[in-house]
Amino acid sequence: MPERMVATSWLLLIGLAAAATAVVLQARAQPDSIGFISIDCGLPGTANSVDDATKLSYAPDAAFTDAGSNENISVEYVTPTLAKRYLNVRSFPDGERNCYTLRSLVAGLKYLLRAEFRYGNYDGLNRPPIFDLYAGVNFWSRVNVSSPDGLESLEAIVVVPDDYVQVCLVNTGSGTPFISALELRPLKSSLYEQANATQGLVLFARRNFGPTDATDIIRYPDDPRDRVWLPLVNTAMWDVISTTNKVQNLDKDPFEAPSKVMQTAITPRNGSDNITLFWDSEPQPRFPTPGYILILHFSELRLLPSNAVREFLIEVNEVVWRTSLGSTSIRPDYLYSDSFYRTAPLLAAARYTVHINATVNSTLPPFINAIEVYSVIPTTNAATDSSDVSAIMAIKAKYGVQKNWAGDPCGPKTFAWDGLTCSYAISSRSRITAINISFSGLDGDISSSFANLKAVQYLDLSHNNLTGSIPDALSQLPSLTVLDLTSNRLSGSITPGLLKKIQDDMAITQTFALTPIHVSRQRGRASLPSTLLSL
Ligand SMILES: *[C@@H]1O[C@H](CO)[C@@H](O)[C@H](O)[C@H]1NC(C)=O
Ligand SMILES: *[C@@H]1O[C@H](CO)[C@@H](O)[C@H](O)[C@H]1NC(C)=O
Ligand SMILES: *[C@@H]1O[C@H](CO)[C@@H](O)[C@H](O)[C@H]1NC(C)=O
Ligand SMILES: *[C@@H]1O[C@H](CO)[C@@H](O)[C@H](O)[C@H]1NC(C)=O
Ligand SMILES: *[C@@H]1O[C@H](CO)[C@@H](O)[C@H](O)[C@H]1NC(C)=O
Ligand SMILES: *[C@@H]1O[C@H](CO)[C@@H](O)[C@H](O)[C@H]1NC(C)=O
Ligand SMILES: *[C@@H]1O[C@H](CO)[C@@H](O)[C@H](O)[C@H]1NC(C)=O
Ligand SMILES: *[C@@H]1O[C@H](CO)[C@@H](O)[C@H](O)[C@H]1NC(C)=O
Ligand SMILES: *[C@@H]1O[C@H](CO)[C@@H](O)[C@H](O)[C@H]1NC(C)=O
């Protein structure tokens, strides 16, 4: 029998505020003036929807993906306060991997990505699916929307290697992937130092202490970075301390917790109690022992009289944390936000327990303003070389190539595009080395973008309907040794550049409607008369 109530609480109570939205007429496929990209997935037409709570404008998603279809959630899950972005979804019944591409980013900078999934029985099957989510070429999370009216909101902090990032949904055979909303927010590089080029942070919990209303969510504009701070309410255990004064961030603050979050804190109702919080490890299929990063935010909100001391220690799974000065006692500053965290993940455990205990010299009980818990994911899979990506994307768009051409062309290896061969190397970008898009119904001229695939050795465009001449720029491809143009409707003659390349080391295969001529050359052999090559 418990003798008294221990101030212990789960971190993961679910709290959701829904907001109605208005509509403005504007489509946006690029970051807005504050660098945000907000997408209402499945929203048809060109009109944006504006969220009532944040006043942020959500663009329809057609400009960000070329696959899937728009669906409405079932009427029984439509409530008057439901945010407009949850009314419809985009679902991806075809293809193993389908992606959104978010452009106009800055390569090497840090971004917060948030993907939201509210099933709402849009397909009438009453069976929420389970599928995988990728940030670029790296696995982000499994999506498991366990109930039709549940909202799964997944957030990651990642450094993007290119000036775009793709968010991909992967069908794992447990239902059709879908998505309700997708958001990208830029972060200063100095924030969340635990997120870098080789590791990302996946949000586990971000809780604000102090609100007494479970729908009192803080995000943009109170948090200029639009992190979502869910309240953790337990009025039976905790008293609220609050202020209307602004809580400042110190120079070079590593997290910049917003003032609105820091303006409230909780303290034990019984002044001799300590604060105890815990969470249980949630193993993921890919990460059976997730590495957790814990960040605690404090600001003293009372101007203490000179005879009062508020001092506490932080103990996490039996380890008492030390400050950078080596002390275990913490006295948070008045109206400045202060954070305690480690750069390395906590030692793996089934349960993580955090004690915030008054020290013997403290005359006042401990408090806490906010907490964040992340798990670490590796982001070491290299994306394809960005100029190869731009070139092959342009080729895909020009010819409307169907196949499975979605996401990164080469990575991860299991999802590489059909017809492409890539080179993979540790710690360098994948390159496209061979392309076979024969028998693919390509028409129009030969795209000049082929000439930008600088690592290509083998290019097979045979058995299509290509017209026009062979671009001389292809001769600039340093590694090209085989060019197969058999069975097209090309015209013109082989340019001097290509001719030289053929004489050097390249084989070219070409046929004509009336007089098929095959010219096939092996590396550096005797030259053929140029008349034979003229088209
Ligand atoms: C979704 O609902 C809207 C508004 O009620 C309607 O105009 C639209 O046709 C519906 N779309 C689908 C795919 O059913
Ligand atoms: C999905 O979530 C449900 C409910 O939380 C759980 O029972 C089930 O094991 C989960 N499935 C997977 C594959 O994670
Ligand atoms: C990212 O941080 C981890 C953990 O601190 C470190 O091991 C890794 O070397 C860092 N990566 C880069 C690219 O700085
Ligand atoms: C507060 O906690 C102390 C120590 O656990 C206990 O002795 C005391 O009865 C509690 N006071 C109240 C009002 O519950
Ligand atoms: C609170 O923490 C202090 C210091 O760690 C400890 O001495 C004290 O017993 C704790 N109080 C309770 C009620 O557990
Ligand atoms: C902190 O207080 C808790 C009880 O509230 C106690 O179990 C724990 O041992 C204390 N930690 C330290 C370092 O005193
Ligand atoms: C408590 O305060 C006394 C007097 O200032 C000091 O000597 C002692 O080291 C302090 N104890 C702790 C645990 O901070
Ligand atoms: C190129 O693709 C075609 C059609 O898919 C296939 O028949 C052919 O074998 C492929 N060529 C090579 C070298 O893989
Ligand atoms: C090639 O293009 C011509 C003219 O547009 C068309 O009639 C023909 O059906 C096309 N052939 C193939 C195989 O796509």
Cα–Cα distance measured from residue 490 to residue 473, given in angstroms and rounded to the nearest whole number: 16
Ligand 5 centroid – CA 357 distance (Å): 6
411/341 same-domain check:
no
Q: Which of 187, 125, 130 is nearest to 158 (CA)?
A: 187
The per-residue pLDDT for range 20-79, each reduced to its tens digit, is: 222 222 334 678 888 999 999 999 999 999 999 999 999 999 999 999 999 999 999 999
Ligand 2 binding pocket includes 147 (Cβ within 6 Å): no
Ligand 5 binding pocket includes 272 (Cβ within 6 Å): yes
Domain boundary among 161, 187, 213: 187
Ligand 8 binding pocket includes 460 (Cβ within 6 Å): yes
38/108 same-domain check:
yes
- The radius of gyration of the chain from alpha carbons, rounded to an integer in Å, stands at 29
CA atoms in the 13 A half-sphere facing the CB of 185: 18
| CA-closest residue to ligand 9 atom 2 | 465
- The minimum-distance atom of ligand 9 relative to the CA of 441 is 14
370/463 same-domain check:
no
Residue 147 is part of a domain; what is its CATH number? Answer: 2.60.120.430
216/359 same-domain check:
yes
| Strand-pair partners of 279 | 352
329/439 same-domain check:
no
Residue 523 is predicted with a pLDDT of 38
162/137 same-domain check:
yes
194/180 same-domain check:
no
From 465, 467, 486, give the residue whose CB has the most ligand 9 atoms within 8 Å, as the site to mutate: 465
- The minimum-distance atom of ligand 5 relative to the CA of 359 is 4
Residue 496 is predicted with a pLDDT of 79
Helix (H) or strand (E) holding 144: strand 138-144
Q: What is the DSSP string of 62-101?
A: TTT-SS-EEEEPPGGG--TTS-GGGSEEEE--SSSEEEEE
Ligand 8 binding pocket includes 421 (Cβ within 6 Å): no
pLDDT at 142 over 90: yes
| Strands laid side by side in the 178-179 sheet | 69-72, 88-91, 178-179
Tell me: cis bond preceding 221? Omega within 30 of 0 counts: yes
| CA-closest residue to ligand 7 atom 4 | 361
- Identity of the residue numbered 36: F
Ligand 1 centroid – CA 72 distance (Å): 6
Instruction: Confirm whether pTM is higher than 0.75.
Output: yes
How high does pLDDT run on average in the chain? 88
3/39 same-domain check:
yes
464: which DSSP letter? S
456/357 same-domain check:
no
Q: What is the mean pLDDT of residues 381-397?
A: 95
First-to-last CA distance in the chain? Answer: 93
pLDDT at 316 over 90: yes
Give 426's pLDDT tier (boundaries 50, 70, 90): confident
Ligand 5 binding pocket includes 274 (Cβ within 6 Å): yes
From 8, 270, 274, 275, give the residue whose CB has the most ligand 4 atoms within 8 Å, as the site to mutate: 270
Domain boundary among 136, 168, 187: 187
364/513 same-domain check:
no
From 193, 198, 380, give the residue whose CB has the most ligand 3 atoms within 8 Å, as the site to mutate: 198
Ligand 5 centroid – CA 88 distance (Å): 51
Q: Which ligand is nearest to the CA of 78?
A: 1
Residue 352 is part of a domain; what is its CATH number? Answer: 2.60.120
Residue 7 is predicted with a pLDDT of 39
pLDDT at 9 over 60: no
Ligand 2 binding pocket includes 146 (Cβ within 6 Å): yes
7/84 same-domain check:
yes
Tokens of 476: 């600039």
Q: Which of 175, 91, 182, 94 is nearest to 134 (CA)?
A: 182
Domain boundary among 379, 403, 418: 379
Tokens of 475: 């001769």
Instruction: Tell me which residue range forms the domain holding 227.
Output: 188-379
Cα–Cα distance measured from residue 508 to residue 522, given in angstroms and rounded to the nearest whole number: 9
The per-residue pLDDT for range 288-303, each reduced to its tens digit, is: 999 999 999 999 999 9
297/396 same-domain check:
no
Q: For the chain, what is the domain count?
A: 3
Cα–Cα distance measured from residue 105 to residue 109, given in angstroms and rounded to the nearest whole number: 8
Report which of residues 419 and 500 the model is more confident about: 419
The per-residue pLDDT for range 227-267, each reduced to its tens digit, is: 999 999 998 999 999 999 999 999 899 999 999 999 999 99
Q: Which ligand is nearest to the CA of 69?
A: 1
Q: At CB < 8 A and 24+ separation, what contacts does 27-30 make?
A: 27/59, 27/60, 27/63, 28/57, 28/59, 28/63, 29/59, 29/63, 29/64, 29/103, 30/103, 30/104
Cα–Cα distance measured from residue 510 to residue 490, given in angstroms and rounded to the nearest whole number: 9
Residues in the chain: 535
Residue 455 is part of a domain; what is its CATH number? Answer: 3.80.10.10
